[in-house]
Amino acid sequence: MKGYVPSIQSHATEPMALHRSVPSPRDCQAAFQTIAQACVRLVQNNRKAAIAADPEAVHIMRIELTRLRAAVLFFSPMTDDDSWPGINKELRWLNSALGKARDHDVTANYARRKRYRRWAKGSRRAMLRIQRKADRKLRKKLASARYDRLIARINRWITDGPWLLTDRSIRSEKVDAYAQARLHAWRAAISREGRHVRILHSEQRHRLRIRCKRYRYVVAALHGLGVTIAREGLKFSETAKRVHGALGDLRDLKRLRRVARKRPPGYRKSKQKFIQRAEKSFRFPP
């Protein structure tokens, strides 16, 4: 196992550099297809390394699957068709395996930190067993015929799916105008829930974290394509980044407690700190 790998919140804010070499798409169809195809390509490019239990490759595959699903949701007035739910179900199957492997990587590395080293000593073997089990399950899924069928199915859907038979006025809409309106709606939904972080229950915080993550990933993908994004939209991406990071750290801390079956040192204080950090992000945006 390599050294500590930062949790997912610290990555994926940079635009996808591979898009900079292609012309900036002007309509929603071209923008979505470019983003989606890049996501699938990066998933495939990291498959072999992930099978070999490379934590960074697992991390990248998980990010790109999330980015793909976020893009489909962002462009849902155009991409919503009868075939997507079935594909999304299979993506959840794959993402679950990637998520478990990634989560156990992060938990094991948390236990190696100086602050937790002595506390986790009695639980380290159990953590490593769980981590290896997750890696074996992921390896099996990535090497399966089911995985190959899923990738082929996604690629066909992106280039020739039923969504391409929808009203052309949606597909041909200028992506800059569409993105501005859609991002505004996403910001409003995140802000409404985010102002009450302290009183949200766990499931609501989880939903907020996912919304912030989706916002960040979509903004990064659009920005990487050269799509015009209002200053407010870019600034809010920094707010979403901080909230996503704080709530992700809280999730990692809770998982560490659950796996070890005991509270880590300073658990209560750290939990409050992460909640306060998320809450403060909405009170004092960038």
CATH of the domain at 116: 1.40.20.10
Residues paired with 174 in a beta bridge: 27
Q: 27 with 142, same domain?
A: yes
Count of structural domains within the chain: 2
Q: 39 with 144, same domain?
A: yes
Residue 163 has pLDDT above 80, yes or no: yes
Mean of pLDDT values over 144-155: 98
Confidence of residue 196 (pLDDT cuts 50, 70, 90): confident
Q: 102 with 185, same domain?
A: no
Q: 155 with 35, same domain?
A: yes
Q: What was the pLDDT predicted at 140?
A: 96
Encode pLDDT of 24-45 as tens digits. 678 999 999 999 999 999 999 9
Tokens of 256: 């560490």
Q: What was the pLDDT predicted at 21?
A: 45
Residues 17 and 224: beta-carbon distance below 8 Å: yes
Can you tell me whether residue 174 is helix, strand or coil?
Answer: strand
Give residue for tokens 């390599």: 2
Q: 76 with 138, same domain?
A: yes
Residue 69 belongs to some domain of the structure = yes
Confidence of residue 277 (pLDDT cuts 50, 70, 90): very high
Q: What was the pLDDT predicted at 103?
A: 85
Residues paired with 27 in a beta bridge: 174
Higher-pLDDT residue of 265, 250: 250
Residue 1 belongs to some domain of the structure = no
Mean of pLDDT values over 245-254: 92
Residue 98 has pLDDT above 50, yes or no: yes
Q: 203 with 227, same domain?
A: yes
Residue 265 has pLDDT above 80, yes or no: yes
Residue 13 belongs to some domain of the structure = no
Confidence of residue 185 (pLDDT cuts 50, 70, 90): very high
Q: What was the pLDDT predicted at 189?
A: 94
Residue 10 belongs to some domain of the structure = no
Residue 257 has pLDDT above 90, yes or no: no
Residue 234 belongs to some domain of the structure = yes
Mean of pLDDT values over 153-171: 92
Highest mean pLDDT among 82-86, 163-167, 252-256 belongs to: 82-86
Q: What was the pLDDT predicted at 247?
A: 95
Residues 64 and 11: beta-carbon distance below 8 Å: no
Residue 123 has pLDDT above 80, yes or no: no
Q: 71 with 160, same domain?
A: yes
The angle, 0 to 180 degrees and rounded to 10, between the axes of the packed helices 231-260 and 124-142 is 120
Confidence of residue 173 (pLDDT cuts 50, 70, 90): very high
Domain stops at, among 133, 167, 201: 167
Host domain of residue 198? 174-286
Residue 14 belongs to some domain of the structure = no
Chain-centroid distance of CA 255 in Å reads 18
Q: 160 with 89, same domain?
A: yes
Domain stops at, among 114, 137, 167: 167
Higher-pLDDT residue of 216, 7: 216
Q: What was the pLDDT predicted at 7?
A: 37
Domain stops at, among 167, 200, 225: 167
Tokens of 267: 């658990």
Q: 144 with 257, same domain?
A: no
Mean of pLDDT values over 204-210: 95
Tokens of 76: 């849902």
Higher-pLDDT residue of 121, 180: 180
